[in-house]
């Protein structure tokens, strides 16, 4: 295979990922409801980018975090070479509200949604690294604010 063929294959792969992938990953959502939630997350991402033009989005995922039946968006973003932050964009039905920001891991970021206490609203776990330091924290939305319930090592990995 020539370098030209490799280059062409790389561009085709990039194009397919960009077009098919859209604004991010769908997480097991199928059918019209899944496509609608996915489109709404893209709208929330556009809102975030417009209101924070000097940041770089590192990772995002979506879930109903305030138990109102609408999908919300967790966004991790880079503030500087050494500092990442996170906030949630809440869909309030016609408008968006951004929670307070909290430090986010520098690398290997993971967002997992878990109903830890068995009652609404949904909690989520954030984990990641900075160098060899590893940390995690459990968050929940309370009164439209991002609340750190508990964690370990986040001060070292954020």
User: Does any domain span residue 1?
Assistant: no
User: Does any domain span residue 15?
Assistant: no
Give the lowest-confidence range in 2-16, 58-72, 105-119. 2-16
Residue 146 has pLDDT above 60, yes or no: yes
What CATH number has the domain bearing residue 79? 2.40.128
User: pLDDT higher for 5 or 71?
Assistant: 71
Check residue 136 and give its pLDDT: 96
Check residue 37 and give its pLDDT: 57
User: Does any domain span residue 117?
Assistant: yes
User: Does any domain span residue 13?
Assistant: no
User: Does any domain span residue 86?
Assistant: yes
Check residue 41 and give its pLDDT: 62
In whole angstroms, what separates CA 26 from the centre of its chain?
12
Q: What's the CA gap between 124 and 134, in Å, rounded?
A: 17
Contact 73, 45 (CB under 8 A): yes
Residue with tokens 């063929």: 5
Residue range 2-53, pLDDT digits in tens: 544 443 444 334 333 333 344 544 333 445 555 455 545 688 999 999 999 8
* Residue numbers of the domain that contains 80: 27-157
Check residue 36 and give its pLDDT: 52
| pTM for this prediction | 0.75
User: Does any domain span residue 14?
Assistant: no
User: Does any domain span residue 12?
Assistant: no
Contact 98, 90 (CB under 8 A): yes
User: Does any domain span residue 10?
Assistant: no
The number of distinct structural domains making up the chain is 1
């Amino acid at each position: 295979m020539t370098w030209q063929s490799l280059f062409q294959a790389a561009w085709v792969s990039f194009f397919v990922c960009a077009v098919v992938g859209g604004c991010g990953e769908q997480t097991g959502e199928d059918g019209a409801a899944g496509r609608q939630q996915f489109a709404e997350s893209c709208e929330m991402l556009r809102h975030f980018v417009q209101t924070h033009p000097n940041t770089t989005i590192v990772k995002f995922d979506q879930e109903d975090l305030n138990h109102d039946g609408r999908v919300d968006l967790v966004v991790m973003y880079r503030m500087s070479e050494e500092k990442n932050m996170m906030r949630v964009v809440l869909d309030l039905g016609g408008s968006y509200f951004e929670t307070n920001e909290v430090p986010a891991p520098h690398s290997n970021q993971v967002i997992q949604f878990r109903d830890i206490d068995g009652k609404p609203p949904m909690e989520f776990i954030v984990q990641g690294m900075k160098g060899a330091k590893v940390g995690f924290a459990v968050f929940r939305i309370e009164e439209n604010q991002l609340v750190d319930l508990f964690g370990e090592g986040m001060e070292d990995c954020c």
